[in-house]
Amino acid sequence: MITTDERGAARRRVIVLIGVALTVLAADIVSKVAIVAALSPLSQVRLLGGFLTLAIYRNPGAAFGIGGPSTTVMFTAIAVAVVAFIVRYSRRITSTPWAVALGLLLGGAMGNLTDRLFRSPGFMQGWVVDWIKLPHWPTFNVADSAITCGAVLVVLLATRGTAILAREDRNDQESPERSKQAAR
């Protein structure tokens, strides 16, 4: 039986996840709108002695430009699946660090998905706006940074053995065969 305290804690973790996701999404959208308005496609702004360059790059592929225009619909579908998965399981998360990690992944996926859905050349085929360039590194954006940080946090949490779902929720996800074996 779930207690009122457990429900309250679960609700707070969902609020953290949603808060992180919406913050990432807002920062991604605002930064892309600002950079597209401020820079022409061929201009660059070099900062910090050339360590950081701001330049618009329209990415038709996946992370780091992998794939190209022919795979845009596939990557859009993957982003939709990631968003659906995180939203589906958000109420079952057992720790705040997992809520933060999944919030980063959700916000980043939604940021790039927004570009895929609404930017040129068309619906579900839009090219993602990347604009942050570091030496010896592909051009990226705020959403990509959030996805990367979220993925690193997921690896750290998994390595430490921090449970993502409550024990009874993990058992619900197991196959009937495994449940029978565990009962023996």
Of residues 134 and 10, more confidently modeled:
134
Grade residue 5 by pLDDT with cuts at 50, 70 and 90.
Answer: confident
Within 8 A by CB and 6+ apart from 103, the residues are 16, 17, 18, 19, 20, 21, 24, 150
Q: Is 1 helix (H, G, I), strand (E, B) or coil?
A: coil
Whole-prediction pTM value? Answer: 0.81
Percent of the chain at pLDDT exceeding 90: 46
Q: What does the pLDDT look like over 31-49, one tens digit per residue? A: 999 999 999 888 899 999 9
Residue 2 has pLDDT above 90, yes or no: no
Domain coordinates in residue numbering, the chain: 4-183
From 115, 144, 169, 172, active-site residue: 144
Please report the pLDDT score of residue 162 as a whole number. 85
Average pLDDT of the chain is 83
From 5, 28, 115, 130, active-site residue: 130
**Whether residue 169 lies in the annotated active site:** no
Q: Nearest 5°: CA angle at 127, between 142 and 66? A: 80
Q: What does the pLDDT look like over 119-166, one tens digit per residue? A: 887 776 788 999 999 999 889 999 999 999 999 999 999 999 888 876
Residue 176 has pLDDT above 70, yes or no: no
Residue 80 has pLDDT above 90, yes or no: no
Contacts 24+ apart (CB under 8 A), 119-126: 124/72, 124/73, 124/76, 125/69, 125/72, 125/73, 125/76, 126/72
Determine the length of the chain: 184
**Whether residue 5 lies in the annotated active site:** no
Nearest to 64 by CA among 123, 136, 114, 121: 136
CA-to-CA separations, 103 to 16, 79, 81, 97, 171, in angstroms, rounded: 8, 14, 15, 10, 24
